Amino acid sequence: MKIIVMGCGKIGTAILSSLVQEGHDVVAVDNDDSVIEEISNIYDVICVCGNGTDCDTLTEADVENAELFVAVTGSDELNMLSCFIARKMGAKHTIARIRNPEYNDAGLSFLRQTLDLSMSINPDFLAAKELFHILKLPGAINLETFSGGNFEMAILKLKENSPLDGVILSDLRKKADLNFLVCAVQRGEDLYIPDGSFALKSGDKIGLFAATAELPKLLRTLGIAAKQSKNVMILGASRTAYYLSKHLLSGGNSVKVIEIDKDKCLEFSSAVPGATVIMGNGAQQELLLEEGIDSTDAFVSLTGMDEENILISIFASTHNVPNVIAKVNRPELASLAEKLGLDCIVSPKKIISDILVRYARALENTLGSNIETLYQLMDGKAEALEFSVRENFKYARVPLKEMQLRDNVLIVGIIRGRKTILPSGEDYILPHDRVIVLSAGHRINDLSDIAK
């Protein structure tokens, strides 16, 4: 499929790299020729240097034949305008990054409609949402939601001396009388899709799948829940911090934001009156101690510098803050940070590229089923996908045990109306169901791909 990515900053590069890996034909557009040069050396894409709102540039990028046009430059207005022009010139679908909070209010749907946008993405908002979910579920290092929020997959890391160390999965089920499934385990570099006889070990990362409402209780029963985050300290008054604080404050939590820039502090305190805004350098340990890092429940580091976020978060961890989350955008730093003991990392870049990969895949398949959600888990080793089943699904009403699933593919859950089934061999899939599938090593485009 032909996709044009306009704007090759951090997000743009992440998007085009994952789209190239997916096998799409990508055209990268940027007005900085040194950036373009760099991109053309590393990724197998065609590069066009120019302004994305210029018809000549768009013609050179062959916009008439583009299936999808993604505008992710730093400027919202530029993104919107170029999407509008691209759509008029023949691009079938357009996606714009719109991050300014002023646009992201009630007027957004009007904007989307007028500009004929297929989707608008706001990385800050999405990152804040993910951060909020993780803070709500202490103990989890990552949380992916399915089926409009009814289902969640929590990624947990078993700490040293975890109560689950050495526990066999079938025993785990007896321990908690709740509906749940351990659907993936990452141990070191390897990924397992475990069966009942699998024994957990300290240091494993596990994917735990359950209904959203039951998940907190489940973690408590299993004895791996951490302290609830009531007061949260946020470093950096970024847009993500703005959205996150709004979420947290409306949930009755207390929020303290540390920011070095005076203007940003003023702006933030007027935008989010409920938050305590501290002007100071968060990199100074003295300041953090003075502001009570020892007694805070959660510490979220959201400055623009990956390195700063990692280092300050490690400092917070050493002061026994129960939940420490760092925003790290560069994947190579994320894996380093993990080695340094920082488990919980949020990357807006990854969130966005997941969304786009999902969107592109859904555009590609028009038969049988629709991809509703797609997440890449465990450093991209596995994917969790949610499909809504259409009328003409090939294996409808076939019991799962007769379906001959591929290796390393697992049907995690079937959602039928308001009922949720954690399936066994006797269960089957019906049209209009939503099916959640976990796959390691296969690229699943369509629900019928799960069978051999």
Partner 1 sequence: MNRRIVFRTLGSILVLEAVLLLLPIAVSLIYADGEVLNFLITAAIALLCGLTLRILTRNGGAVIYAKEGFAIVAFAWIGMSVIGALPFVLSGAIPSYIDALFETVSGFTTTGASILTEVESLSRSILFWRSFTHWVGGMGVLVFIVAIIPNFTDRSIHILRAEMPGPVVGKLVPRVKETARILYLIYIALTVAEMIFLACGGMPVFDSITLSFGTAGTGGFGVLNDSIASYSPYCQWVITAFMILFGINFNLYFLLLIRRFKSVLKSTELWCYLGVIVTCVTVITINVSSIFPDFSEALRHSAFQVGSIITTTGYSTTDFNLWPELSKGILLLLMFMGASAGSTGGGFKVARVVLLLKMAKRELKRLLHPRSVSTVRFEGKSVDETTLHSVANYLVLYIICFIAVFLLLCLDPGNFDLETTFTSVTACFNNIGPGFGNVVGAAGNYSTLAISSKLALTVGMLLGRLEILPILLTFSPAVWKKQ
For partner 1, the binding residues (CB under 8 A) are 2, 25-27, 33, 40-46
Work out how close the CB of 382 gets to partner 1 at its nearest, in angstroms, rounded to a whole number. Answer: 21
Work out how close the CB of 360 gets to partner 1 at its nearest, in angstroms, rounded to a whole number. Answer: 14
> Of the two residues 4 and 437, which places its CB atom closer to partner 1 in the complex?
4
Burial of 143 (0-12, 13-18, 19+ CB in 10 A): buried
> Of the two residues 40 and 448, which places its CB atom closer to partner 1 in the complex?
40
Work out how close the CB of 277 gets to partner 1 at its nearest, in angstroms, rounded to a whole number. Answer: 46
> Of the two residues 33 and 402, which places its CB atom closer to partner 1 in the complex?
33
Beta bridge partners of 345: 326
Work out how close the CB of 320 gets to partner 1 at its nearest, in angstroms, rounded to a whole number. Answer: 41
Work out how close the CB of 96 gets to partner 1 at its nearest, in angstroms, rounded to a whole number. Answer: 21
> Of the two residues 30 and 433, which places its CB atom closer to partner 1 in the complex?
30
> Of the two residues 55 and 367, which places its CB atom closer to partner 1 in the complex?
55
- 419-421 and 369-377 beta bridge pairing: unpaired
Identify whether the C-beta of residue 190 lies closer than 8 Å to the C-beta of residue 440: no
270-303 in b/e form (b: 16+ CB < 10 A) is: eebeebebbbeebbeeebbeebebeebbbbbbbb
320-358 in b/e form (b: 16+ CB < 10 A) is: ebebbbbbbbebebbeebbeeebbbbbbbbbbbbbbbbb
Identify whether the C-beta of residue 7 lies closer than 8 Å to the C-beta of residue 71: yes
> Of the two residues 44 and 195, which places its CB atom closer to partner 1 in the complex?
44
Work out how close the CB of 44 gets to partner 1 at its nearest, in angstroms, rounded to a whole number. Answer: 6
Identify whether the C-beta of residue 200 lies closer than 8 Å to the C-beta of residue 206: yes
Work out how close the CB of 26 gets to partner 1 at its nearest, in angstroms, rounded to a whole number. Answer: 5
What number of other Cβ atoms are within 10 A of residue 264's Cβ?
A: 17
> Of the two residues 46 and 362, which places its CB atom closer to partner 1 in the complex?
46
Q: Which of 116, 55, 79, 76 is nearest to 5 (CA)?
A: 79
Give the neighbor-by-neighbor strand order of the sheet with 276-279: 276-279, 254-259, 231-235, 298-301, 323-327, 345-346
